[in-house]
Structure 1
Amino acid sequence: MGDRRSRAFLPLALFFALFVAFLYGPTLTIFILSFQGPEGGMTFPMRGLSLHWFGVLWQGLGVVDVWAAFARSLRLGLIVTVLTVVVSLMAGLAFRRRFVGSTLLFYTAIASLILPSIVVSLGIALEFRILDDFVKASGLGGAGYQSSMGLFTSALGAHLTWTLPFGMLIMFAVFNRFNPAYEEAARDLGAGPWQTLRHVVLPIIAPYLIGVALFGFTLSWDEIARTSQAIGGPNTLPLELQGLTSTVTTPAIYALGTMTTTVSFLVIGLTLGTGLYLRRRRMRGASDAGRGV
């Protein structure tokens, strides 16, 4: 308690405070300006305090259907989350044992983190355009066939090239530190492979799976670069928001930004809360087992 802080503490603390302000200052500014009154503008000082611009947002912003774009982004984010968790878990289990070509497969899987996003998205768009040409030429699509470029085809593939590498790296790190003695004990007690996975492995790694899900949803929720080249017709919410910045000149655009940010924080809070709940439940179970309850 008697130790004095070094002379470097105050400069480092000031630098950290400036970094946090730089990181979250724009978000806080948008949040504050979205609660202006009807006469509010795009900059400070604020003119009144109300929920007027959220009401304007609820009614719609011109020809853009914001709520349809919101629903599209939400559906896409949820599907990307599920696929990211499932595929990352399967990859983590598979890479626990060495197999021929595992190193090449690993670097191929994470290569999209290194490649420019515009290159990846253009490649995906080109693949689906070639697929469209093949379907049209073969007559498989029928007379009403238009394009395979859509929300759950090319856009889904573009998002997975961004979320899967993160999920896989997390699961590889988890299983590298996973103690196989738990599985051996389960097998000694007569558990089969699926019982061991369900009752032993999954409960232990559940917090990390929640982290993978969080990565998958948040990365998909605000993805622009890869989506813009591969989605085809209907836009996701980030693309609509990007387009509205050049046409909407009222704080309604700030209200939309506040809403999307709130959704992100709600997902993060729900994920962290679920992880803490599972951790406490596991610790309570271990404590009860130790007492012989």
Structure 2
Amino acid sequence: MEPRPRSFYILTGFFVLFLLFLYGPTLTIGILSFQGPGGGLTFPMRGTSLHWFRELFEQQAVGDIWGSFRRSLVLGLMVMTTTVVVSVIGGLAFRKRFPGSTVLFYLIVTALVIPSILISLGVGLMFDQAGMTVHWSTSGYGAQLTWTLPFGLLIMFAVFNRFDKSYEEAARDQGATAWQTLRYVVLPIIAPMLLGVALFGFTLSYDEFARTLLTSGSRNTLPLEIYGMTTNVTTPVLYALGTLTTGFSLLVIGTFITVTTYLARKRARAASDAGKGLV
């Protein structure tokens, strides 16, 4: 076996340092959240316990944290659903060129390069000037869609650009209507990608701070509530909250990956069974 070149070990070391830089803060917060009752915000740790997690579940200890969590969860589901539906519709629309399609595409992408705080300010001012209430479920919802929709649309553009139209042609040859073709052929094939768009939409909304800062009104979402806690909470209860929210995010991602893997295997089995039937 040939020895590995020196560059391999240099690049491996660089990659390890990158991982430590990427996940080190999260691991540090997770470790410090398990301190004893006398624990502080820095090392060394003062005992180990679940004390700060118990404190977290006392409403008076952390303000409106559970209300903000519910708002972020509902808002994330709203944004996720809208992103999936609009992305599919947009992807289908862009399968054929139409007048103004190029301009519309660049307008969609432009939303990604405009500073988030400016969009938050603009949406908040627009609602205020129009006499509408600035609220997380209206202005906050709209501001977050300017962040999630471009990602969802770009994914759908890539998906439909590689989509084999022969499946649709075969369905139409069998007498399927346009709706039946979409429902029974197109959507099942792109289902794993739709789950990816849904995951993008939910996680981007759930973690979004800048575009919600000036559009949430008097009720904070979870990122805003955590930011507010950093100014007045000086105990590891803040780290306990970070650990739980990180665990929740990983649970969501794991669920989506599990469902996506299941759908992919189910589709592979169906294709295999169909091939055996032809034989």
Tell me which interval the TM-score lies in, with the shorter structure as reference length: over 0.9
**Aligned counterparts, 1:1-293, within 5 A:** 2-62=1-61, 64-132=63-131, 147-292=132-277
Q: What is the CA–CA distance in structure 1 between the aligned matches of 2:271 and 2:194, rounded to whole Å?
A: 20
Asked if structure 1 preserves the Cα contact closer than 8 Å seen for 2:136 and 2:212, the reply is no
Deviations 1:171-193, CA, capped at 9 Å, x for gaps: 00111111111100110111111
Q: What is the CA–CA distance in structure 1 between the aligned matches of 2:103 and 2:14, rounded to whole Å?
A: 42
Q: Secondary structure at the match of 1:191?
A: coil
Q: Secondary structure at the match of 1:255?
A: helix
Deviations 1:187-210, CA, capped at 9 Å, x for gaps: 011111111111111111111111
- What is residue 143 of structure 1 aligned with on the other side? none
CA deviation after TM superposition for structure 1 residue 62, in Å? 4.0
In structure 2, the CA distance between the partners of 1:263 and 1:180, relative to structure 1 (3 Å rule), is: same
CA deviation after TM superposition for structure 1 residue 61, in Å? 4.8
CA deviation after TM superposition for structure 1 residue 291, in Å? 1.6
User: Structure 1 length as normaliser, TM-score?
Assistant: 0.93
Amino acid at match of 1:27: T
Number of aligned residue pairs: give it.
278
Q: What is the CA–CA distance in structure 2 between the aligned matches of 1:168 and 1:261, rounded to whole Å?
A: 27
Q: Secondary structure at the match of 2:155?
A: helix
CA deviation after TM superposition for structure 1 residue 60, in Å? 2.4
Q: What is the CA–CA distance in structure 2 between the aligned matches of 1:72 and 1:212, rounded to whole Å?
A: 21
Q: What is the CA–CA distance in structure 2 between the aligned matches of 1:65 and 1:288, rounded to whole Å?
A: 53
Q: What is the CA–CA distance in structure 2 between the aligned matches of 1:263 and 1:159, rounded to whole Å?
A: 20
Amino acid at match of 1:203: P
Q: What is the CA–CA distance in structure 2 between the aligned matches of 1:262 and 1:268, rounded to whole Å?
A: 10
Q: What is the CA–CA distance in structure 2 between the aligned matches of 1:255 and 1:195, rounded to whole Å?
A: 49
Q: Secondary structure at the match of 2:195?
A: helix
Q: What is the CA–CA distance in structure 1 between the aligned matches of 2:49 and 2:17, rounded to whole Å?
A: 30
Amino acid at match of 1:55: R
Q: What is the CA–CA distance in structure 2 between the aligned matches of 1:43 and 1:55, rounded to whole Å?
A: 20
CA deviation after TM superposition for structure 1 residue 3, in Å? 3.8
Deviations 1:30-76, CA, capped at 9 Å, x for gaps: 01111111111111111111111011000025472111111000000
User: Structure 2 length as normaliser, TM-score?
Assistant: 0.97
Q: Secondary structure at the match of 2:214?
A: helix
| Structure 1 alignment gaps of length 5 or more | 133-146
Q: What is the CA–CA distance in structure 1 between the aligned matches of 2:62 and 2:189, rounded to whole Å?
A: 49
